[in-house]
Amino acid sequence: MISGPRPLQELIHLDSVTGEMVVANRIDFESFAWLNLTIRATDSGVPPRASRAEVFIQIIDENDNNPYFIGDITNITVREDAPVGKFQ
């Protein structure tokens, strides 16, 4: 279970079976430089036992802009090792 402000909870998905955390929605650095959440795990024992962990995720400011093309280009190929700004 994830605890924290609702907007932060909506950015992360926590698998209740495996405990795997993955990004659920786009995270914008300009809105969130850090995500501070509390994760609570409970077992199915009798009585159930639980533990909490504080999770701090730093968001880095990578290029988050979608590419755009000028003109009517329908197909373009870019070699994996092409220098920046060049395509064939």
Give strand ranges (E) for the chain: 2-3, 12-14, 21-23, 34-42, 50-58
Sign of CA pseudo-dihedral 18, 33, 62, 10: positive
Dist CA 81 CA 78 (whole Å)? 8
For 12-71, what is each residue's pLDDT tens digit?
998 888 888 898 988 888 888 998 989 998 888 999 999 999 999 999 887 767 777 777
Domain contains 11? yes
For residue 88, pLDDT beyond 60? no
Domain contains 66? no
| Number of domains composing the chain | 1
**18: domain CATH number?**
2.60.40.60
Domain contains 79? no
Domain contains 68? no
User: Are the C-beta atoms of 76 and 88 separated by less than 8 Å?
Assistant: no
Amino acid sitting at position 58: Q
Domain contains 7? yes
Expressed as residue numbers, the domain containing 22 is 2-58
